[in-house]
Amino acid sequence: MTDTQSVEQGAEVAGRIGLVARGVVYCLLAVLAIQVAAGDRSEEADRQGALRAVARQPFGTVLLVALTIGFAGYALWRFAEAVLGHDELPKRLLHAARGLLYAGFTVTSARLVLGRKSGGGSDSTAKDWSARLMEHGWGRPLVVVVGLGLLVGGGVLAWRGWHQTFEKHLRTGEMTPSQRRRLPWLGTFGNAARGVVLALIGLFLVRAALDFDPNKAVGVDGALHQLADRPYGTVALVIVALGLFAYGLFSFVEARWRKVME
């Protein structure tokens, strides 16, 4: 076995562990979103809120350590795809960006394990960097561009989910006929929900830039709360929460059947 094959095998194991950790966090995020729909605003409905909810459980530290390892595994897998994969350069850069994102989640989770503050949630982060950018003349246009990019990204996620383009990454030949029919719909529903949340974040970023008010920028938590405050928002938020839970379950499907190192 060559060194490259050894690295790829290690990255595959790390990636599958990482997909399980991603699934756990999305399922927890869905539970927090349901709580928001029920009127409970005591916890931030984002990844940091989900991790803090884990920390409060019996054996919470052990669970956080496991999630930290999972996030690190996901990051290593994406970095391996960026370096060793066979994709074109844009996709390699996207893999690297995802690796950096999950490296950040790893640090956040590790800080909670060590009992340190993990920083602000998604809302405060969005407001802070929006305010910093708007201090410069080119900042407002840049925030608009980022917001529009997130709006488009939300639409792309929903499109990919509906057309089930993710199915090409699954080893469907190893599934039973029933699994091949039913399991991909978890990805469809889940990606649609993620698309809605991403589009809402983008919409509020554009609004913040146009109104020159960084306090109108939101993260995942703010997007879910804004949705809950709209007419019929409770019903819409419950649907989105169920979609996020479906994406968590689909992450477990990917952990089992995804072609991790393609």
At 97-126, the pLDDT tens digits run 999 999 999 999 999 988 876 666 788 889
Tell me the average pLDDT across 26-36.
94
pLDDT, position 258: 96
The structure tokens listed for 161 are 């989910």
pLDDT, position 58: 84
pLDDT, position 147: 94
Greatest CA separation for the chain: 60
pLDDT, position 251: 98
pLDDT, tens digit (0-9, with 9 covering 90-100), for 181-190: 999 999 999 9
Cβ neighbors of 114 (< 8 A, separation 6 or more) are none
**pLDDT exceeding 90 applies to what percent of the chain?**
68
Tell me the average pLDDT across 169-178.
95
Going from N- to C-terminal start, the domains of the chain cover: 3-257
Query: Cβ-count burial of 199 within 10 angstroms (0-12 exposed, 13-18 middle, 19+ buried)?
Result: buried
Q: Which amino acid is at 176?
A: T
The residue that leads in pLDDT, 55 or 162, is 162
Distance of alpha carbon 140 from alpha carbon 213, whole angstroms: 10
Residue 3 binned pLDDT confidence (cut-offs 50, 70, 90): low
Residue 64 binned pLDDT confidence (cut-offs 50, 70, 90): very high
Average model confidence (pLDDT) for the chain? 91
